[in-house]
Amino acid sequence: MDLTDAELDALLETAHHDLLRVVSQTGDAEDWTLHQLSVLCTTYPLWWIQRGSDATGQMWWAARLRYEVSPAMAATGVSQEVKEADAIALAAVLAWQTYLFNCWRARTG
């Protein structure tokens, strides 16, 4: 199948626009991830939050409490570290963990 110069130019132009669209969406995804990280850090200042991946490339979100968890805190259900597959799941866990931390803090003064 031979293409004319005009057909080849049209095909290349379409491929170029498709490539620009994909690159733009990748940038949007990175911006969204940074936005999610910013919101989590602002909403849950008791936690150090990060996003990463394991050796297989599986992405994860994790948070570490900025305080050392004492046995009394652990008995209340407070975890030193939590790890979830996405930002929304992490936000749900951090909301619960923050509630548990505040319950412990209210009891101990």
Q: Could you list the residue range(s) of the whole structural domain that residue 53 is in?
A: 5-108
Kindly give the residue spans of alpha helices, DSSP state H, lying in 48-86. Answer: 71-76
Classify each residue of 3-30 as buried b or exposed e, where b means 16 or more C-beta atoms within 10 Å of its C-beta: eeeeeeeeeeeeeeeeeeeeeeeeeeee
Give the pLDDT band of residue 19 (cuts 50, 70, 90): very low
Tell whether the model's pLDDT for residue 1 goes beyond 70.
no
Query: How many structural domains are present in the chain?
Result: 1
Residue 11 has pLDDT above 80, yes or no: no
Give the predicted TM-score (pTM) of the model: 0.70
SS3 59: strand
